Amino acid sequence: MDNEKLGSILPDTLHLKRKNLVIFDLDDTLIHTRMLYNIAYMNAGKALIDAVGTYAPLGSDMIKRVETINAKLQSVMNYSAERFPLSWVLLYREICSEYNLPVYEEAVESIRYEASSFQRGPFEVIDGVNNVVSTLDQRPDVDMMILTAGDFPLQRKKVNEAQLSTYFTEGVNFMIADSTKDAILDALVKRNKDNHPLVGKVIMVGDSLYSDIRPAKKAGAMTIRIPTPGHWAHDDAEVEPDYTISDMTKLLSVLEHIIPTPNEESCVQK
């Protein structure tokens, strides 16, 4: 991608001027998300069983079928928050069609509501996040940024309800990608190299090998992975992060190794 196109990817309001940039993924890096989906899976599955009784697939088969539908919908719905609930509704309709069962609208609404529970939160920061962002916010050589991919209104809601908006403002140091993060990371790394040749560092912190680590390494950024318990199939990628840590409380020590805190004489005023 040429320089003009890379530049147009980033908003003019983006305020990133310091030589080091630490980019955070949002979901399951700064806030708990996976457990909200686990609850949605359980509640939607129960609503489906309530609707079709013994015609419901067994647990693992039910999950496989809904994930297959969800994957097919991604090509047309991308990261829409309605994709997951719709997958459950379509599975209900499929089962009704297979067994010649009537489709009840009240069942459709019940399944949709339960599958949408991940949208309602609560959205809470992961242990150690507040200490990390408050500490980095005081460093004169570091800018912080959230780069997330997802449903725009939902991602904004998460940042606000988790009270991360104290440190992150959309368009200033918070961006939401409508597909993969590749192009934005390419543009951010290029911008940093142009503004701080030889001295600047861009560091991506995330949990997903595919969504976070892969595009960051491809762009030339350093990478720190904080794996989340459990597994999403779409997280897989044949890539090795530069660092892997067990939880957010270990991040500051790793960052200190990569970008040591400048002494007072070398500090640049904000």
110 φ/ψ angles, rounded to the nearest 5 degrees: -65, -45
Q: How far apart are CA 20 and CA 136, in angstroms?
A: 11
> What pLDDT, on a 0 to 100 scale, did the predictor assign at position 236?
73
The alpha carbon torsion through 6, 8, 14, 20 (nearest 10 deg) reads 10
> What local confidence, expressed as pLDDT, does residue 264 receive?
62
**At residue 138, what are phi and psi to the nearest 5 degrees?**
-90, -10
As a whole number of angstroms, the distance between CA 85 and CA 116 comes to 6
pLDDT in tens, the chain (270 residues): 555 555 578 999 999 999 999 999 999 999 999 999 999 999 999 999 999 999 999 989 999 999 999 999 988 999 999 999 999 999 999 999 999 999 999 999 999 999 999 999 999 999 999 999 999 999 999 999 999 999 999 999 999 999 999 999 999 999 999 888 999 999 999 999 999 998 899 999 999 999 999 999 999 999 999 998 766 656 777 899 999 999 999 999 999 999 999 976 555 444
- Give the C-alpha separation, 52 to 108, whole Å: 11
Query: What's the CATH fold of domain 3-32+123-266?
Result: Rossmann fold (3.40.50)
User: 112 vs 49, 152, 256, CA distance in Å?
Assistant: 13, 20, 46
